[in-house]
Amino acid sequence: MCRHLGWLGAPVSVSSLVLDPPQGLRVQSYAPRRQKHGLMNADGWGVGFFADSVGDATPRRWRSPAPLWGDASFESVAPVLRSRCVVAAVRSATVGMPLEASATAPFTDGQWLLSHNGVVDRKVLPLSPTAESVCDSALLAAAVFSRGMDALGDTIVEVGAADPRARLNILVANGSRLVATAWGDTLSILRRVDGVVLASEPYDDDPDWEDIPDRHLVEVTADGIVLTALNRSKGS
Ligand code: GLN
């Protein structure tokens, strides 16, 4: 399982979220604390963000198929990349999936950034000419993008029903909404005075981190935080 992190709040540096915390994604790339599947996340990394400049709604991405811990160029630039909205991930590739930057989260449709922490049988997903890779996560991202974010919960429930062994922790953001699902793996939230972090696991030992219960969706906007249970089927 990969590890991912999302931020929505005041402008902060990417390094303050990803590289600097004592148990942040850089450390999680070789020593995650709560990872249930896989020992480390050395198969690449990706950072997506919305630039902190007026009128730029384009998601910007930096992805690599190499381990995050050794990337000196990113380490050099990350302190001056500032954003109100970030989606970052380190990857532990599922057996059989391609090892390439295009298979590394976050994926995008030009509006949203999406990371998937988990695994899903590709046979239950529609073939998509817009998927960035044949990786299961890229196909899942394409399916989520085509259904739309207001249907994210329904999409996860349906894919989960089609593949009961799937783990479907999703993290998406578009600059003003940050949404995550917990479906088969860990997810934590930290409410800071300057914003909200959603992450596969806490990046430090702050006692304010809270666990999101499994099979739930959490949405963060300027209006607040909403937690919703994901039911197996509508009305159940
Ligand atoms: N299945 C995805 C991949 O192969 C994600 C893997 C993960 O969460 N470890 O990249």
Please tell me if the CB atom of residue 94 comes closer than 6 angstroms to any atom of ligand 1: yes
Name the pLDDT band for 94 (thresholds 50, 70, 90): very high
Please tell me if the CB atom of residue 137 comes closer than 6 angstroms to any atom of ligand 1: yes
Average pLDDT rounded to a whole number, residues 147-161? 97
Please tell me if the CB atom of residue 119 comes closer than 6 angstroms to any atom of ligand 1: yes
Asked if residue 45 lies in contact with residue 90, where contact means CB atoms within 8 angstroms, the answer is yes
Q: How far is the CA of 193 from the centre of ligand 1 (A)?
A: 32
**What tens digit of pLDDT does each residue of 10-35 get?**
999 999 999 999 999 999 999 999 98
Please tell me if the CB atom of residue 97 comes closer than 6 angstroms to any atom of ligand 1: yes
Please tell me if the CB atom of residue 116 comes closer than 6 angstroms to any atom of ligand 1: yes
Q: How far is the CA of 226 from the centre of ligand 1 (A)?
A: 27
Asked if residue 203 lies in contact with residue 172, where contact means CB atoms within 8 angstroms, the answer is no
Residue 89: predicted pLDDT? 98
In this predicted structure, the answer to whether residue 1 has a pLDDT above a threshold of 90 is no
In this predicted structure, the answer to whether residue 52 has a pLDDT above a threshold of 90 is no
Angle subtended at Cα 46 by Cα 139 and Cα 163, rounded to the nearest 5 degrees: 30
Q: Which of 4, 63, 91 to mutate to test the pocket of ligand 1 (most atoms within 8 A of CB)?
A: 91
Name the pLDDT band for 95 (thresholds 50, 70, 90): very high
Average pLDDT, rounded, for the chain: 95
Q: Atom 3 in ligand 1: which residue has the minimum CA distance?
A: 93
Average pLDDT rounded to a whole number, residues 42-65? 92
Residue 221: predicted pLDDT? 97
Lowest mean pLDDT among 39-43, 112-116, 138-142: 39-43
Name the pLDDT band for 55 (thresholds 50, 70, 90): confident
Return the domain boundaries, the chain: 3-229
Average pLDDT rounded to a whole number, residues 120-134? 96
Euclidean distance between CA atoms 116 and 106, whole angstroms: 8
Q: What is the pTM of this model?
A: 0.95
Residue 236: predicted pLDDT? 41
Average pLDDT rounded to a whole number, residues 109-134? 96
In this predicted structure, the answer to whether residue 6 has a pLDDT above a threshold of 80 is yes
Q: How far is the CA of 180 from the centre of ligand 1 (A)?
A: 16
Euclidean distance between CA atoms 165 and 121, whole angstroms: 8
Superfamily (CATH) of domain 3-229 = Aminohydrolase, N-terminal nucleophile (Ntn) domain (3.60.20.10)
**Closest atom, ligand 1, to C-alpha of 38:** 9
Please tell me if the CB atom of residue 115 comes closer than 6 angstroms to any atom of ligand 1: no
Residue 232: predicted pLDDT? 58
Q: How far is the CA of 105 from the centre of ligand 1 (A)?
A: 9
Q: How far is the CA of 169 from the centre of ligand 1 (A)?
A: 10
Average pLDDT rounded to a whole number, residues 74-84? 97
Euclidean distance between CA atoms 46 and 104, whole angstroms: 6
Considering the chain, what percentage of its residues have pLDDT values greater than 70?
Answer: 97
Higher pLDDT, 191 or 51: 191
Average pLDDT rounded to a whole number, residues 175-192? 97
Length reported for the chain: 236
Three-state SS annotation for the chain: CCEEEEEEEEEEEHHHHHCCCCCCHHHHCCCCCCCCCCCCCCCCEEEEEEECCCCCCCEEEEEECCCHHHCHHHHHHHHHCEEEEEEEEECCCCCCCCCCHHHCCCEECCCCEEEEEEECCHHHCCCCCCCCCCCHHHHHHHHHHHHCHHHHHHHHHHHHHHCCCCEEEEEEECCCCEEEEECCCCCEEEEECCEEEEECCCCCCCCCCEECCCCEEEEEECCEEEEEECCCCCCC
**What tens digit of pLDDT does each residue of 200-225 get?**
999 999 999 999 999 999 999 999 99
In this predicted structure, the answer to whether residue 234 has a pLDDT above a threshold of 70 is no
Please tell me if the CB atom of residue 118 comes closer than 6 angstroms to any atom of ligand 1: yes
